[in-house]
Amino acid sequence: MSDLKRTQLYETHVAAGATMVDFGGWEMPIQYPSGIVAEHLYTRSVCSLFDVSHMGRLLVEGPDRIRFLQYVLTSNIAALTPGKAQYCIIPDENGGAIDDAYLYQLEDGQLLFVVNASNTEKDLAHLEKIAKNFDCEIKNISADWAAIAVQGPKSNEYVDLLSGGKLPEDIKRNTVLTMQLEGRDAYVAKTGYTGEPLGFEIYVRSENAAWLWNRLTELGAKPAGLGARDTLRLEASMPLYGHEMGVDADGKPMPIFAVPLAKFAVNFSEEKSDFIGKAALEKQLDAFMRLRDGDFSACSVLPKSIRAITLTDRGVIRAGMAVYRGEEQIGWVTSGTMVPYFVFDGETRTEETGKRAIGLCYIASDVRPGDSVTVDVRGKRLAAVITAKHLENRTPPLAKAVLIENK
Amino acid sequence: MATPNELKYTSTHEWAKIEGNTATIGISDHAQQALGDLVFINLPQEGDEAVAGEAFGDLESVKAVSDLISPVSGTICAVNEALLDAPEMLNEDPYGAWIIKVEMSGETEELLDAAAYDALCEQEG
């Protein structure tokens, strides 16, 4: 794996006994000796650390930077105040996604743009081409700053300890603070990709990455790999570029509004003015709203949508498997595996665990939550149901599995 | 974990314990480690035929699916159905948790002894 890139934490992962794999050109931990299931459950019950330094970290600088970002992103950058972050998509002219990303305005006004690891070069080429028409510049700071996600019910407590009690108790989602963590510069963002109600993504200078990782481990956090990161985001129904965005199993581009989360990432306000793909996205939004109201004539604009799916028969569903309504193939599973969960007694988490075969699928837009479908699992048709969501996470500090009733 | 000397192994990481005409079949410690957390198993039924070198079921980890390849040919005379609810037993006790038992007839794949199997795992890294 000598041609692979390594993050600032490579040695730390290897020393911890991680299984390293090639992930989009990066040599990354897929799991630690405890295994994906244990890492998933530890995130939901205590706190896990994820090395997300493979993701691209870009600074957008120059007088025209706001106008530039308004043009190349779907979100409204004028609404992004200092100390806030927003989810956004890099659209193409046809309303498809080049990537999804997070844009942070740091408290000093710097604009930090974080993109998917495997798309960093593609994104940079696209953005730099357009930036030539604007007075602005994109600086890749991925090698200078490391990124660690700290996710789970105990994350607030650990980060507060490192900040010397300076973490606001009521810190809201999508806030990014400039802080000192035991004397070291850090950007602490209340964001994440696990569905945890409490969780942070922390940016520190490269030389402090191992220090932060080890300090959090001493406090009680445990490392988790890309395997658990994937099962956690899947349980939270968060899209992954290349699965729920990009091109479908037939190689056709997927419209941005196929993903319900797009509603929060795309903005048509007047301050935003024109942007790439705007006309196509306006049509998609209109269709999205009509579909939500049960007007299926909008299926001509958005034929398929991303939905949560739970297998009711025994088995596991995987990306690429065909989904059927009766004898009609209506789409594919885009992500799927078996994930563990904690059994709850009312609002109290018990120590009992179970597992369930869940996924996300890209299927006919007129299928509604509660509808029954089947999935072709290696030649066998297994029963599944479309669900509104797999995880309830509006009740901090704990996220709770949403189980289907006949289970 | 030491590779038990009394068992025979396949290059696809199953083990077989041969007693008289009956083979008890499971997966090796190397296999369970490489697969990671096992979450599902597809088992054959008693009375099904097993063919040496062919799949008799499959095993799913969080990450992927892999076929279970039979080291011997014959009639499946017992199936460890407890694995349906707890495939993780194969992670916890790979040489204790058996998957099927086969009443052997006809061909047997060429099987490896413990030393040859260890050498193979070493090679695969």
User: pLDDT of A379-398, one tens digit each?
Assistant: 999 999 999 999 999 888 99
Average pLDDT, rounded, for chain A: 96
CB contact set of A219 (below 8 Å; sequence gap of 6+) = A158, A161, A162
Structural domain including A153 reads 10-53+143-234
> Does B102 score more than 70 pLDDT?
yes
Give the end of a domain, one of A179, A203, A234.
A234
pLDDT digits (tens, 9 = 90+) for A292-318: 999 999 999 999 999 999 999 999 999
pLDDT digits (tens, 9 = 90+) for A243-260: 999 999 999 999 999 999
Decide if A359 touches B, using CB distance below 8 A: no
pLDDT digits (tens, 9 = 90+) for B18-41: 999 999 999 999 999 999 999 999
* Residue at A310 is within a domain: yes
Residue A108 is predicted with a pLDDT of: 96
Decide if A355 touches B, using CB distance below 8 A: yes
Give the end of a domain, one of A234, A259, A284.
A234
Q: Which of B40, B62, B84 sits opposite A37 (nearest CB)?
A: B62
Q: Which residues of chain B are within 8 Å of residue A315 when distances are taken between CB atoms? A: 40, 42
| A69: β partners | none
Element (H, E) at B35: helix B29-35
Nearest CA in chain B to A30: B63
Q: Which of A35, A355, A378 sits opposite B36 (nearest CB)?
A: A35
Cα-Cα-Cα-Cα dihedral sign, residues A284, A285, A291, A296: negative
What's the rounded mean pLDDT across residues A211-217? Answer: 98
CB A7 within 8 A of CB A53: yes
CB A280 within 8 A of CB A119: no
Q: Which of A227, A314, A378 sits opposite B62 (nearest CB)?
A: A227
CB A299 within 8 A of CB A291: yes
CA distance A101 to A88: 5
User: Using 50, 70 and 90 to split pLDDT, how confident is the model at B106?
Assistant: confident
Radius of gyration of chain A (CA): 21
CB A394 within 8 A of CB A377: no
Residue A280 is predicted with a pLDDT of: 97
Bridge-based pairing state of the strands A222-223 and A48-51: parallel
CATH number of the domain at A192, please.
3.30.1360.120
CB contact under 8 A, B65 and A338: no
CATH number of the domain at A407, please.
2.40.30.110
CB contact set of A165 (below 8 Å; sequence gap of 6+) = none
List chain B domain ranges: 8-124
CB A89 within 8 A of CB A257: no
* Residue at A165 is within a domain: yes
- Count how many pairs of residues, chain A against chain B, have C-beta atoms within 8 Å: 40
What's the rounded mean pLDDT across residues A214-241? Answer: 97
Residue A407 is predicted with a pLDDT of: 44
CA distance A315 to A242: 24
> Does A406 score more than 80 pLDDT?
no
Nearest CA to B76 out of B97, B53, B105 is that of: B105
CA dihedral A96, A100, A106, A109 (to 10 degrees): -20
What's the rounded mean pLDDT across residues B64-81? Answer: 95
> Does B64 score more than 90 pLDDT?
no
Q: Which of B36, B42, B65 sits opposite A36 (nearest CB)?
A: B36
Nearest CA to B62 out of A29, A226, A23 is that of: A226
Average pLDDT, rounded, for chain B: 93
Q: Which residues of chain B are within 8 Å of residue A382 when distances are taken between CB atoms? A: none
> Does A10 score more than 60 pLDDT?
yes
Q: Which of B60, B62, B91 sits opposite A231 (nearest CB)?
A: B62
Fold of the CATH domain B8-124: OB fold (Dihydrolipoamide Acetyltransferase, E2P) (2.40.50)
- Let me know whether A331 and A218 are in one domain: no
Element (H, E) at A286: helix A278-292
Decide if A318 touches B, using CB distance below 8 A: yes
> What is the count of structural domains for chain A?
2
Backbone angles phi and psi of A260, in degrees to 5 = -55, -30
DSSP label of A299:
G
CB contact set of A136 (below 8 Å; sequence gap of 6+) = A60, A61, A62, A63, A64, A65, A68
Residue A125 is predicted with a pLDDT of: 96
Residue A272 is predicted with a pLDDT of: 93
Q: Which residues of chain B are within 8 Å of residue A355 when distances are taken between CB atoms? A: 39
CB A47 within 8 A of CB A220: yes
pLDDT digits (tens, 9 = 90+) for A336-375: 999 999 999 999 999 999 999 999 999 999 999 999 999 9
> Does B109 score more than 70 pLDDT?
no
User: Using 50, 70 and 90 to split pLDDT, how confident is the model at A95?
Assistant: very high
> Does A288 score more than 90 pLDDT?
yes
Decide if A378 touches B, using CB distance below 8 A: yes
Residue B40 is predicted with a pLDDT of: 93
**Of all residues in chain A, what percent carry a pLDDT higher than 90?**
96
Residue B107 is predicted with a pLDDT of: 65
Q: Which residues of chain A are within 8 Å of residue B65 when distances are taken between CB atoms? A: 316, 318, 378
